[in-house]
Chain A
Amino acid sequence: MLSRIANSLFWMGRYLERTEHLARYAKVHYFSALDAPQTQNKEELLESILIYAGLDKLYYKDYDKLNELNVLFYVLLDVKNPFSIVNNINYARENARGARDTITSELWESINKLYHFTNEFAYKPFKSTHTFDFTSPVMESSAEIKGLIDNTMVHDHAWNLVSLGLHLERAIQIMRIISSKLDDINKIEGNEVSKAIENYQWPILLKSSESFDMCNRYYKATPSRTNSLEFLILNPQFPKSILFNVCKAYEHLETLIKVTKDDDNPFLFHAGKLMYKLKYTTFDDILANDPLVFLNGVLDNLYKVGTDFEKEYLSF
């Protein structure tokens, strides 16, 4: 496997995953804002989209105030915004094209279709109905693309690299979703009314990570701070939880690196340490301190795993 192709596959996975989460987060927050309780500031939900996307500063370079259409267009379809969904899809497609001989025609065609759909959309005048009309097909496409990755590719190096990118990125994105939601909640002041608003936020958190149904079923209770955070961070069986994805990412890393029969690989050791730390942390440990501090610590480590892996194996 060429290092350059390996790099493309890894990043194809990451951009695809990033796209899906960004689409879902924007959609869920936009629709939650529409019928939010009187006391919930609707602008905060729009701002939450920008914060999650890491665009809260960049946005104000182009616009002076929060505005529904501007925020959504900027995050979803603005080609001038390097972190917009349209650009994430462009990067994913560019990587897929560079690795065209390694992936299947079915997978390529599916990514290429998403690319053309998106780019056509980007040049239409933006309307509020476009949030739904755009994000829904993006998420459907994403599900199709992942199905094709798992079911049309040989589960060899190439597949392991894409999957590593997907799971690493998913762990990162879920972490970011939780962080920005906790930030949102911390902004609320502590009285009776705000308690209600806080409780309004947990279902949004779960829906933003496609976890609402499964969390309800798992706890047989409505979402709360404890059950939603525990579910998303530590559930070992739920494919959106951080623990699940860190374990998956480790599996793929191990498969990729073990080929070299390098038993004391320092890089794998570091990634393993991160996984075991998560595995043997209880939820009480996390709650004992500020969960944000814990999450940010894990997030820094995940970024490091990504950059170290690239440096070690994917540079060309």
Chain B
Amino acid sequence: MEQSNAIKQSLFANYEMAQQFLDEVFPNGNVLDDSYQKVFKHFDELSIDNFKAINEYTKMSFFNQGITFNVYSDKEKGVERIFPFDLFPRIIKKDEWEMLEKGIIQRNTAINMFLWDIYHEKKIFKDKVVPEALIASSPYYYKAMMGVNPPGKVYTHISGTDLIKHADGNYYVLEDNVRCPSGVSYVLSNRDALKKTFPHLLLDHNVASVQEYPLELLNIMKSCAPESVDDPTCVVLTPGVYNSAYFEHSFLALNMGIPLVEGRDLYVDKNFVYMKSIYGPKKIDVIYRRIDDDFIDPQVFNPKSVLGIPGIMNAYREGNVVLMNAPGTGAADDKAVYTFVPAMIKYYLGEESILRNVHTYKCELDDDYKYVIENMEKLVIKPVDESGGYGLLVGSKATKEEISEFKKRITANRRKYIAQPIMSLTVHSTYIEEERKFEQRHIDLRTYCLMGKNKNYLLKGGLTRVALKKGSLVVNSSQGGGSKDTWVML
């Protein structure tokens, strides 16, 4: 870089640019992107010690506010950790965002229509667009949900679509999270932290606000209340203070101004749900539940659950209470169903999918099978029915033995496997404490889309997750991931 002489002592001294990755701050042959001019200048001019002090102060501020999660170890008390936050923001340009916004809403609209369909007429099966056997085998496709009519036909009130930007400069959908997507409290807390530390930086840019999210969520909740209720009582349902996402549950309840309840605070009587208040029972109409389907009603799902409320599914089916998201949405977000989302968009909306899927080879198809077997080292092989990164093979990192073993497995059960090209996530300038400077790290983007009766809302921003380990593509907080404030430009 030209200015390299002048910035030797800066946080960007010896910033290594790996040629095989797309750096969002320095794209196009390592030239600083226009949108990052002011941000880069700001960070580049800070002294290392000054930046370090600001970084420590910010960490302390997260800690004192209790924006933490518990890590349980052999010590008697859980250790509290903050979710690592990188002060260098990620910028998403206006036109890029407009495309993403349309694409995410389009995708989630189709997924929601798909859920209505599979729990009612099942037209998409009859028209052979999605094979019925695929959905029928999903553990999240519930008999208990057949024929249930959630208000406004909304199943996926909150969707957390995960996107990555590939080395080719295009965004791809990595996953559709339509069960209980989390992390939005960090989006708002990150913005707050950045406002406090570098106020003029935000003043200098025209960044979309994220602050209205809790209010929008509350409006969505109210819009989906049972028909007969005028002024619905809405609550957030948490597994309790020991849950690792408790901070987020309390954050959302506090910011919406509605009660945060646990299963033991609620009971069902004659198919209505009540909470136990100091002055007796109070009826509840809408529940934003942060408890998985499995635990929500021991009478219908996991009988051992002590977190849930016995009988709540009956109250739900009667239409006396609304659960957000609806139970059974998991039938629409597993890996195999993912490959059909573009087809769903075409089927229900008559449109082409705006967002790209990562190309997926289905081994049950002869051509795909042939390609997969011949190009194992370029692919990630995934079983369709497992999640959490289990049972998969990353071709580029596997040994010859592992590859030949996997070939056997695929050949034995072609229906069970899909393969995808190994995606090259973009990298972003990230402060590395041990090195006392910025380095490239891989990032992705979790978005938050809300759907209510006749209304949609996409949070203008999202959670940019950073894989803090050098070379790692894993951005999950449980595996050493951090996050960045995400700026959508207006």
Contact B278 A314 (CB under 8 A): yes
* B7 partner residues in chain A, CB cutoff 8 A: none
B262 interface contact, C-beta 8 A: yes
Q: A4-B264, A108-B66 are in contact. List 16 more A-B contacts (CB 8 A).
A: A1-B277, A2-B277, A3-B277, A4-B276, A5-B259, A97-B66, A97-B250, A98-B241, A100-B254, A101-B253, A101-B258, A101-B259, A109-B65, A109-B66, A116-B63, A116-B64
Known interface pairs A100-B260, A105-B254; A157-B65 also in contact (CB < 8 Å): no
Provide the B250-275 mask, 1 if CB < 8 A to any CB of A, else 0. Answer: 10011000111110110000000001
Known interface pairs A3-B265, A4-B262, A4-B265; A101-B250 also in contact (CB < 8 Å): yes
Q: Of B66, B260, B264, which is within 8 A of A112 by CB?
A: B66
Q: Of B64, B250, B253, B276, which is within 8 A of A316 by CB?
A: B276
B390 interface contact, C-beta 8 A: no
A108 shortest CB reach to chain B, Å: 7
B359 shortest CB reach to chain A, Å: 45
Q: Which 5 A-B pairs have the closest CB atoms?
A: A100-B250, A101-B253, A101-B260, A101-B254, A6-B278
Q: Bound state CA distance, A113 and B278, in angstroms?
A: 30
Q: Size range of the interface on B?
A: 20 to 34
* A269 partner residues in chain B, CB cutoff 8 A: none
Residues of B within 8 A of A (CB): 63-66, 236, 241, 246, 250, 253-254, 258-262, 264-265, 275-279
* A94 partner residues in chain B, CB cutoff 8 A: 241
Nearest chain A residue, comparing its CB with the CB of B63: A116
A60 interface contact, C-beta 8 A: no
Provide the A246-278 mask, 1 if CB < 8 A to any CB of B, else 0. Answer: 000000000010011000000000000000000
Contact A109 B64 (CB under 8 A): yes
Contact B264 A316 (CB under 8 A): yes
How many residues of chain A get a CB closer than 8 Å to chain B's CBs? 24
Q: Bound state CA distance, A101 and B254, in angstroms?
A: 4
Provide the A288-301 mask, 1 if CB < 8 A to any CB of B, else 0. Answer: 00000000000000
Nearest chain B residue, comparing its CB with the CB of A316: B276
Contact A157 B66 (CB under 8 A): no
Q: Bound state CA distance, A98 and B254, in angstroms?
A: 12
Report 20 cross-chain contacts, Cβ distance below 8 Å, ordered by A residue.
A1-B278, A2-B265, A2-B275, A3-B265, A3-B277, A4-B265, A4-B276, A97-B241, A98-B241, A100-B66, A100-B254, A101-B250, A108-B66, A109-B64, A109-B65, A109-B66, A112-B65, A260-B279, A316-B264, A316-B276
Residues of A within 8 A of B (CB): 1-6, 94, 97-98, 100-101, 105, 108-109, 112-113, 116, 157, 256, 259-260, 313-314, 316
A159 shortest CB reach to chain B, Å: 14
A253 shortest CB reach to chain B, Å: 12
A137 shortest CB reach to chain B, Å: 14
* B259 partner residues in chain A, CB cutoff 8 A: 2, 5, 101
Q: Is the interface of A mostly helix, strand, loop or mixed?
A: helix
Q: Bound state CA distance, A172 and B264, in angstroms?
A: 31
Contact A259 B265 (CB under 8 A): no
Contact B278 A3 (CB under 8 A): yes
Q: Bound state CA distance, A256 and B264, in angstroms?
A: 23
With most chain A CB atoms within 10 A of its CB, the pick from B64, B65, B241, B278 is B278
B290 shortest CB reach to chain A, Å: 13
* A98 partner residues in chain B, CB cutoff 8 A: 241
Known interface pairs A97-B66, A98-B241, A101-B259; A3-B276 also in contact (CB < 8 Å): yes
* A6 partner residues in chain B, CB cutoff 8 A: 278
Q: Bound state CA distance, A58 and B278, in angstroms?
A: 36
* A314 partner residues in chain B, CB cutoff 8 A: 278
A170 shortest CB reach to chain B, Å: 22
Nearest chain A residue, comparing its CB with the CB of B262: A4
A214 shortest CB reach to chain B, Å: 34
Q: Bound state CA distance, A3 and B282, in angstroms?
A: 11
Q: Bound state CA distance, A109 and B250, in angstroms?
A: 13
Q: Bound state CA distance, A113 and B262, in angstroms?
A: 26
Q: Bound state CA distance, A260 and B275, in angstroms?
A: 17
Nearest chain B residue, comparing its CB with the CB of A256: B278
B484 shortest CB reach to chain A, Å: 23
A15 shortest CB reach to chain B, Å: 15
* A4 partner residues in chain B, CB cutoff 8 A: 262, 264-265, 276
* A259 partner residues in chain B, CB cutoff 8 A: 279
* B63 partner residues in chain A, CB cutoff 8 A: 116
B280 shortest CB reach to chain A, Å: 8
Q: Bound state CA distance, A157 and B279, in angstroms?
A: 11
Q: Bound state CA distance, A314 and B278, in angstroms?
A: 6
Q: Bound state CA distance, A101 and B259, in angstroms?
A: 7
* A1 partner residues in chain B, CB cutoff 8 A: 277-279
* B279 partner residues in chain A, CB cutoff 8 A: 1, 259-260
Contact B278 A313 (CB under 8 A): yes
Q: Bound state CA distance, A112 and B82, in angstroms?
A: 14
Nearest chain A residue, comparing its CB with the CB of B253: A101
Nearest chain B residue, comparing its CB with the CB of A259: B279
Q: Bound state CA distance, A316 and B276, in angstroms?
A: 7
* A100 partner residues in chain B, CB cutoff 8 A: 66, 250, 253-254, 260
Q: Bound state CA distance, A260 and B264, in angstroms?
A: 24
* B65 partner residues in chain A, CB cutoff 8 A: 105, 108-109, 112
B414 shortest CB reach to chain A, Å: 51
A273 shortest CB reach to chain B, Å: 23
Contact B261 A2 (CB under 8 A): yes
* B262 partner residues in chain A, CB cutoff 8 A: 4
A2 shortest CB reach to chain B, Å: 5
* B64 partner residues in chain A, CB cutoff 8 A: 109, 112-113, 116
A166 shortest CB reach to chain B, Å: 18
Q: Bound state CA distance, A208 and B64, in angstroms?
A: 30
Q: Bound state CA distance, A5 and B277, in angstroms?
A: 9
Q: Bound state CA distance, A23 and B277, in angstroms?
A: 34
